[in-house]
Chain A
Amino acid sequence: MKTSARSVSALRHDPLVRGLGWASALLGIPQVADPAGFARRLGADGDPRNRLVTAAVGVRELTAAAGLLGRPRPAWLWSRVGGDVMDLALLARALRNRDGRGAARTVAATAATAALTVTDVYAAVTRTAGSSPVELTAATTVTRPPEEVYDLWHDLERLPEFMAHLDEVRVTGLRTSHWTASAPFGRTVEWDAETTHDLPGQMIAWRSAQGADIAHSGEVRFVPAPGGQDTEIHVTLRYDLPGGALGRAAARYFGEEPHQQLDDDLRRFKQIAEVGEIVRSEGAPGGKRARGEFPQHPAQPLTPDELKEALA
């Protein structure tokens, strides 16, 4: 997982991250300064072992606080999640071993820790998002001249025909457009994009406008292939995947492998450029919607209902 400098500075001004940093500090100071008193207030007995554990937890909290407030990285948020799990285990043990006094305090402490755990997991998952820039490249060759291939791609509103994730692209101005795409787990994301370079017959580059759900940029270059008849298409996409490495792993688990997606998108573009439409089989009748569905529809003709759905 790569961490970009931009996302470190974004985390430094993130209220949730700063809040969690200060919470760590406020918890850590009394734990280190007066471990016995802190343990008593949690309802634990005066066992010297409890005092030691409390002091150790305090040191951990102060380290996390220093990290989150000093050099914030998602790793610190994840370390807080790990600490929470440890705390819950310790509190559970305290509940089991207790001799009757202070039970209510331990239960309250457990509830508070559970709430904090939820907050930490939320912060870790969402803040990891901006920290995993992805760069994808793909290439194909099409038996059409560069000008023609450029024209086809330049018609941005047709991109959803072959790009599996795109639902709609609306041209909103000379250099601006509005994009709607489906994201993993059934979510929809929308953003405005602007065309940053446009060299007819050669290349198109774009990037999302400030404040987009997914910060991304991309370019497609049209290069005459050896022999002078065909066109090589080279695509580069850069974006921050929601959920970062975790999101990427989860997406892959659900069959959304970004590189494969882009390869398949380009294959469909090639079909439109060369054949005029996306080629459908009975096993994969849904055009771009048929991606990665194994097992597929059997290789046998479709019922009228299936046909309606596939061609919708």
Chain B
Amino acid sequence: MKATCWTGRNAVEVRDVPAPSILNSRDVIVKVTSTAICGSDLHLVDGYVPTLQEGDVLGHEFMGEVVEVGPGVDDGTLRVGDRVVVPFPIACGACAACRAELYSCCENTNPNAGTAEKLFGHPTAGIYGYSHLTGGYAGGQAEYARVVLADVNALKVESDLTDEQVLFLSDILPTGYMGAEMCDIQSGDVVAVWGAGPVGQFAMDSARLLGAEQVVAIDKEGYRLEMAAEQGYETIDFEEVDVRSALLELTGGRGPDKCIDAVGLEATHGASHLHLYDRAKQAVRAETDRPHALRQAVLSCRSGGVVSVVGVYGGLIDKFPAGAWMNRSLTLRTGQCHVQKYMRPLLDLIEQGRLDPTRVITHRLPLDRAPHGYDLFKNKKDRCEKVVLTP
């Protein structure tokens, strides 16, 4: 079958690989009907995440039709022909983390936990197509994919919603939603969102849904800010104005009540000397992640506010404004999304028409044009916001 493979830094190819097979008794195999390229795939391709190997199949946002069911899947839970969306973190459903609905911290699904533990202190869940550090699972940007422990890790979609309406339940919609939910939004809150990519857009939509009075989008790509403005959100172009001053002006000097970092480790900064400082430290491995958005969020947030981080960080950061965080009583909350917890309630919101995930899709490509899709998305060509691939 065809699959999108990582073949080296900044190199992605569609290759012929074997079809997937059941490895655990509770697995199912799906024929992928839609899959997408995620911003975090770019971190892998750009070489910021260690332990990738040549030939690794990428992709953790996918859905499809069940074509084979493992012998350990409980009768009636999943059948051949079922249409399922697959959450990106692989959860066991039985450990203490899963019991606490912290599915992305599952204690059992990373076969390389010993390695992950050295980097993170404790291991985290397995993730499809997301390096060997998260288990070495084959990804879903392919014609077929294995869904691990499928009775926990597949959402059956029985309504007649289109693929495009439900595909993003696999990652970016719940991730954006969790970013907003962690803000503990109160009525009247102003919520600022760093990054107007797909996750940022969904964080904005979710913040409004959860009661924010005003939502502010911060980015440097004009077309992404326009996309936010069309939804009625304020916008700040960080290459044009000083973000903190602009936020103070928008909020009567208070600063936003809640701040969401939907950027993560590859941030760029309007002030080029600061960007160069972090870029240089990153190049010599003195820090692995560039935390501009996080620093700015901490410094801008009103005292007692919440900074919620859903942008991906992988290693170490430098010059974290701990003084601002501590002295101004800020709350810092974060996590890889616990997708399984949010899928069903968000599916309901989509069915009710209160969320429209399709609004971020700008490109639809066949699977074999995946490398072109990566190029469009990475280099922000052709006003690219989100690429959906169909095998």
A277 at the interface (CB under 8 A from B): yes
- Please measure, in the bound complex, the distance between the C-alpha atom of A281 and the C-alpha atom of B23, giving whole angstroms: 8
Q: Is the CB of A283 within 8 A of B107?
A: no
Q: Point out the residue from A274, A277, A303 that lies within 8 Å of B18, measured CB to CB.
A: A303
B61-104 vs A, Cβ < 8 Å mask (1 yes, 0 no): 00000000000100000000000000000001011100100000
Partner of A281 from B54, B92, B99, B111 at Cβ < 8 Å: B111
Is the CB of B168 closer than 8 A to any CB of chain A? no
CB distance from B28 to the nearest CB of A (A): 14
B106-143: which residues lie under 8 A (CB-CB) from chain A? Answer: 107-109, 111-115, 126, 129, 131-132, 135-139
**CB-based contact B138/A299 at 8 Å:** yes
Which residues of the other chain, B, contact A300 by a CB distance below 8 angstroms?
Answer: 3, 5, 17-18, 55-57, 138
Q: Once the chains bind, are B136 and A264 in contact (CB under 8 Å)?
A: no
CA distance A283 to B112 in the complex (A): 9
Residues of A within 8 A of B109 (CB): 279
Whether a CB of chain A sits under 8 angstroms from the CB of B186 is no
Contacts of B24 in A (CB 8 A): 277, 279-280
Report the Cα distance A271→B108, complex, angstroms: 6
Q: Considering the chains assembled together, what is the distance between the CA atoms of A301 and B140 in angstroms?
A: 11
Q: Does B146 contact A (CB under 8 A)?
A: yes
Chain A contacts with B in 280-312, Cβ cutoff 8 A = 280-285, 290, 292, 294-304, 307, 310-311
Choose one: B17, B132, B149; the contact of A296 (CB below 8 Å).
B132
The 24 sampled A-B contact pairs (Cβ below 8 Å) are A141-B96, A143-B96, A143-B99, A267-B113, A270-B107, A271-B108, A274-B108, A275-B94, A277-B72, A279-B24, A279-B108, A280-B111, A281-B126, A281-B148, A283-B56, A284-B135, A292-B114, A299-B55, A299-B129, A300-B55, A300-B56, A301-B57, A302-B18, A303-B18
For residue A301, which residues in chain B have a CB less than 8 angstroms away from its CB?
1, 17-21, 57, 138, 146
Q: Is A260 an interface residue (CB 8 A)?
A: yes
Q: What does the 1/0 interface line of A254-265 toward B look like (CB < 8 Å)? A: 000000100110
B231 within 8 A of A: no
Pick the residue among A271, A294, A307 that contacts B21 (CB under 8 A): A307
Contact B95 A143 (CB under 8 A): yes
A230 in contact (CB, < 8 A) = yes
- A143:B126 contact, CB within 8 angstroms: no
Q: Are B21 and A274 in contact, CB atoms less than 8 angstroms apart? A: no
Write the nearest CB–CB distance from B86 to chain A, whole angstroms: 15
Q: Give the Cβ gap from B192 to chain A, nearest Cβ, in Å.
A: 37
B108 lies within 8 A of A299 (CB): no
For the complex, give the distance between the alpha carbons of A273 and B113 in Å. Answer: 17
Tell me the dominant secondary structure on chain A's binding face.
loop
12 additional A-B residue pairs with CB within 8 Å, beyond A283-B56, A299-B53, A301-B21: A267-B108, A271-B108, A280-B23, A296-B136, A298-B56, A299-B139, A300-B17, A300-B18, A301-B57, A302-B21, A303-B18, A311-B23
Contacts of B108 in A (CB 8 A): 267, 270-271, 274-275, 279
B25 within 8 A of A: yes
Q: How far is the CA of A187 from the CA of B92 in the complex (A)?
A: 36
A276 at the interface (CB under 8 A from B): yes
Question: Considering only CB atoms and an 8 Å cut-off, how many residues of chain A contact the other chain?
Answer: 36
CA distance A7 to B149 in the complex (A): 50
A298 touching B54 by the CB < 8 A rule? yes
**Nearest chain B CB to A286 CB, angstrom units:** 9
Q: What residue of chain B has the Cβ atom nearest to residue A142's Cβ?
A: B95
Q: A299 and B146 in contact (CB under 8 A), knowing A274-B94, A279-B109?
A: no
Which residues of the other chain, A, contact B149 by a CB distance below 8 angstroms? 275, 279
Chain B, residues 17-57, CB within 8 Å of chain A (1/0): the string is 11111011110000000000000000000000001011111
Shortest 4 CB-CB contacts between residues of A and residues of B:
A283-B136, A298-B55, A284-B111, A299-B56
CB neighbours (8 Å) of B136 from chain A are 281-284, 296-297, 299
The answer on a CB contact under 8 Å between A310 and B23 is: yes
Distance, CA A277 to CA B108, complexed state (A)? 10
Task: Compute how far the CA of A230 lies from the CA of B94 in the bound complex, rounded to whole angstroms.
Answer: 12
